[in-house]
Amino acid sequence: MLQENIQKRNIQNRINTSIALAVLISALTLVGTVLANDKNSNDKSPSLFESLAEQYNSNPQTVIEFKHIVVSDFFGTADTIDGTITFAADGRYRTKLGEDEFLFDGQCLWEYSAIYAQASRNCLKPGQRLDDSFLFFRHFHDYYTVRTTLPDSIYQLSILKEYQGKAPDSLTVTLSPQKKRIVAMEYFDINDEINRILIGSESKSQTVDSLLYQPTFPDSTEIIEIPG
């Protein structure tokens, strides 16, 4: 039974990872804009947030190194995985999390599992948008309200009641006024396990390397088509 529970948890962790990546991209790309417009903020000079929004929305390509930590009271464990996410201003991204990869090439969403030697591919139809767990970072303000815990440092995001999707109900975002960037995010997943994303190094490029956003998996990889 324990082995079965662990296996189920591993599967759920892959789902959590997908959502965590959406959370990470959302915070990196649009949280600055949302917080800058926070009417409840005591900060009368939201230049930090405006700067973040401008940087992440206009910079051609950004690379972030981070740690994804899942704390389980049930298993008494804290699993940590190192990751790197590279994303372009046009919405394409590639993330390496441990041995797995998550890729959006602008048309198809790929999820590669090294342990199963499989890659799922979900391509968009004309006019179609991504599933909510990946889409909500493009419509951040449509899903969350923002409250200031500590101006310029800690903010609490709460999901809107009318939202029907997979985004976390609540999200805590921590900024560093000294580093002028997001340094951490925390939320509870559907198993009531704490998920922490700690953002490490960050680098920006004025050019986009399009090769990074092309699927380059081992030849032995089984491709699984997911209906759009």
Domains annotated on the chain, with CATH: 2-225 (2.50.20.10)
In terms of average pLDDT, the best of 86-95, 149-158, 218-227 is 218-227
Taking the mean position of all CA atoms in its chain, how far away is CA 81? 14
On the question of pLDDT at 97 being above 80, the answer is yes
Count of CA atoms in the C-beta half-sphere (13 A) of 48: 19
Q: pTM for this structure?
A: 0.74
* Cα–Cα nearest to 75, from 8, 149, 170: 8
What is the average per-residue pLDDT within 35-48? 49
pLDDT band (50, 70, 90) for residue 35: very low
Please give the structure tokens belonging to residue 55. Answer: 């940087």
CA 111/CA 128 separation, integer angstroms: 19
At 164-190, the pLDDT tens digits run 666 778 888 888 888 778 888 898 887
- State the alpha helices, DSSP H only, in 59-143: 132-135
Phi, psi of 220 (to 5 degrees): -80, 0
Q: Are 102 and 136 within 8 A, CB to CB?
A: no
DSSP state of 93: E
Residue 119, CA distances (Å) to 16, 85, 132, 216 in order: 17, 18, 20, 11
What 3-state class would DSSP assign to 167? coil
pLDDT band (50, 70, 90) for residue 159: confident
CA 93/CA 215 separation, integer angstroms: 11
CA 120/CA 100 separation, integer angstroms: 12
